[in-house]
Amino acid sequence: MRYYIHTFGCQMNVADSQRLASELERMGHHAATEADDADILVVNTCVVRQSAEDKAYNRLNMMNALKKENPDKVIGVMGCLVGVRDPLKLRKRLPYVDVFMPPSEPGPMVAFLRDRMSESEILALEAEARQQRDALQDGDLILPTHEQHNLITAHVPVVYGCSHACTFCIIPFRRGIERSRSVGEIVAHVRSLALQGVKEVTLLGQIVDRYGKDIPDGPDLADLLRIVHDVAEESGLERIRFLTSHPNWMTDKLLDTVAELPRVMPHIEVPVQAGDDEVLARMKRGYTADDYRKLIHRIRERIPHVAINTDIIVGFPGESDAQFMATYNLLAELKLDKAHLARYSPRPQTVSERTMADDVPDEEKRRRHQMLEDLQAQVVAEINQRYLGETVPVLVEEKHKGKWRGRTPQNKLVFFESEDNWHGKVVDLEITWTGPWSMQGRLPTAQHEDEPLIVITG
């Protein structure tokens, strides 16, 4: 059978879809590039905002239309729309769906497909599949054929769920409390990706810095980075990243480990969400704007050339103009490399949805969002200008509209032209143009004896 997975949402969902694809590949099923050509159709859903949830239902309706034409098709829904609890209401709303999979749980689909096949069919398919994947072990993650030795970057979940309780966030209700994966599982995952040509992995968690907190005497994230770094050195993996951090859990040990290990990139994702202490308190984030300011200084002191990205929610219930300006001024002061901006969207079950009125008009939310976007465009343009004329190592991911595209250690996007095949290679590029969202580079022209080569690394 052929499968097609449509993924909405975050990197964790991308990794979950990859895990599901791997289980289907292990059973001997193969990826279809179009939903029309697939026998197994899956939507991996996101509900972090109402608009994301609406898109998931639309996509499911489209798949139902395909099933009406061919009732043998199998439809599955996965992710945060399903959540960790029994989706009774969802089953009523989606009667045409065959399989419901909680986030990060491909098991129900595997069981459903096995129930539809005879034992001999299962064994034959699995034997054929095993032959096709020579070096990979049973527990390894198997990439679909079209991604093997083509995919350059991949995500590796290290801790699932979240035990924090930010008042606006639906994730703990849909992904459950935090659960760290074992070191052995993570090492096997990373090694199998490297075996299939992946050059960069990003370790994932809602609060990735809390890795190991639920493992008695367990390793923390700094220890895990050291272990994964050893795997990288032996398996040819070039780069390691991790996200998403939380201001309260970033230790000096972690920061010093990032600075010390050459394959761990100087790139930190640590959301602030707002710049006003009263708003932060009602969000139950657990820190103040000044705590965040001090953290940014600590990160910059300990990790040379570091890029710091953040998340901001505008229009949280009760956010006054002055409180919004506190966020604006904090961003203007800290000059961060990227701010992922979102307008507040009340989510079911959350404390803010149940106890706070969504009283900032949508128009005002859009005005505040635009103000921060304009500010960040200016800030990042200034930051990126510093790279002009410098030479930076870029890991090349793919060709896009005739140009090679890749990222610096600071996760900045760089494009360049070359006839040679740079796919999956790290190339030193001279930066010739910079803008707020990307940069243009060129292969260094012949070296002039009297000009030292300046390379911006970690």
Stretch that binds ligand SF4, among 107-115, 160-168, 180-188, 302-310 (CB under 6 A): 160-168
Cβ closest to ligand SF4, residue 199 vs residue 246 = 246
Least distance to ligand SF4 from the beta carbon of 164, Å?
Answer: 4
| Helix pair angle (321-334, 289-302), 10° resolution | 10
Q: Return d(Cα 425, Cα 429) in angstroms, integer.
A: 12
Cβ closest to ligand SF4, residue 196 vs residue 245 = 245
Does 164 engage in binding with ligand SF4 (CB under 6 A)? Answer: yes
Smallest CA-to-CA distance from 141 within 176, 187, 108, 172 is with 187
Cβ closest to ligand SF4, residue 26 vs residue 210 = 210
Cβ closest to ligand SF4, residue 180 vs residue 384 = 180
Least distance to ligand SF4 from the beta carbon of 79, Å?
Answer: 14
Supply 83's token pair.
């959540």
- Out of 15, 27, 60, 171, which residue is the one contacting ligand SF4 (CB under 6 A)? 171
Using an 8 Å Cβ cutoff, are 397 and 152 in contact? yes
Least distance to ligand SF4 from the beta carbon of 457, Å?
Answer: 31
Using an 8 Å Cβ cutoff, are 3 and 39 in contact? yes
Smallest CA-to-CA distance from 317 within 370, 349, 270, 274 is with 274
- Out of 246, 267, 282, 365, which residue is the one contacting ligand SF4 (CB under 6 A)? 246
Does 347 engage in binding with ligand SF4 (CB under 6 A)? Answer: no
Least distance to ligand SF4 from the beta carbon of 163, Å?
Answer: 8
The size of the interface with ligand SF4 (CB under 6 A), counted in residues, is 9
Stretch that binds ligand SF4, among 165-173, 189-197, 340-348, 439-447 (CB under 6 A): 165-173
Least distance to ligand SF4 from the beta carbon of 345, Å?
Answer: 13
Least distance to ligand SF4 from the beta carbon of 52, Å?
Answer: 14
CA distances in angstroms from 70 to 59, 85, 90, 428, listed in the order given: 17, 30, 23, 52
Cβ closest to ligand SF4, residue 97 vs residue 169 = 169
Cβ closest to ligand SF4, residue 243 vs residue 431 = 243
Does 162 engage in binding with ligand SF4 (CB under 6 A)? Answer: yes
Cβ closest to ligand SF4, residue 133 vs residue 246 = 246
Cβ closest to ligand SF4, residue 201 vs residue 207 = 207
- Out of 47, 152, 156, 169, which residue is the one contacting ligand SF4 (CB under 6 A)? 169
Locus of tokens 């289980």: 23
Which DSSP state fits 264?
B
Q: Return d(Cα 171, Cα 165) in angstroms, integer.
A: 9
Contacts of 259 (CB under 8 A, 6+ apart): 266, 302, 303, 304, 458
Kindly give the residue spans of alpha helices, DSSP state H, lying in 213-320.
221-235, 252-260, 277-283, 289-302
Stretch that binds ligand SF4, among 141-149, 164-172, 227-235, 438-446 (CB under 6 A): 164-172
Does 206 engage in binding with ligand SF4 (CB under 6 A)? Answer: yes
- Out of 40, 143, 207, 295, which residue is the one contacting ligand SF4 (CB under 6 A)? 207
Does 280 engage in binding with ligand SF4 (CB under 6 A)? Answer: no
Least distance to ligand SF4 from the beta carbon of 213, Å?
Answer: 13
Cβ closest to ligand SF4, residue 182 vs residue 349 = 349
The H or E element that residue 383 is part of is helix 362-385
Least distance to ligand SF4 from the beta carbon of 430, Å?
Answer: 39
Least distance to ligand SF4 from the beta carbon of 335, Å?
Answer: 24
Cβ closest to ligand SF4, residue 133 vs residue 181 = 181
Q: Return d(Cα 78, Cα 9) in angstroms, integer.
A: 12
Stretch that binds ligand SF4, among 13-21, 168-176, 229-237, 247-255 (CB under 6 A): 168-176
Does 172 engage in binding with ligand SF4 (CB under 6 A)? Answer: yes
- The sheet with strand 200-205 has its strands ordered as 179-180, 153-160, 200-205, 239-243
Least distance to ligand SF4 from the beta carbon of 135, Å?
Answer: 36
- Out of 38, 156, 166, 326, which residue is the one contacting ligand SF4 (CB under 6 A)? 166
Kindly give the residue spans of alpha helices, DSSP state H, lying in 236-359.
252-260, 277-283, 289-302, 321-334, 351-355
Q: Return d(Cα 280, Cα 290) in angstroms, integer.
A: 11
Going by DSSP bridges, is the β-strand pair 403-407/413-416 parallel, antiparallel, or unpaired?
A: antiparallel
Cβ closest to ligand SF4, residue 159 vs residue 194 = 159
Smallest CA-to-CA distance from 225 within 268, 199, 185, 263 is with 263
Locus of tokens 């590949």: 25
Q: How many beta carbons lie within 10 A of that of residue 261, not counting itself?
A: 19
Q: Point out which residues pair with 7 in neighbouring strands.
A: 44
Which residues contact ligand SF4 (rule: CB under 6 A)? 162, 164, 166, 169, 171-172, 206-207, 246
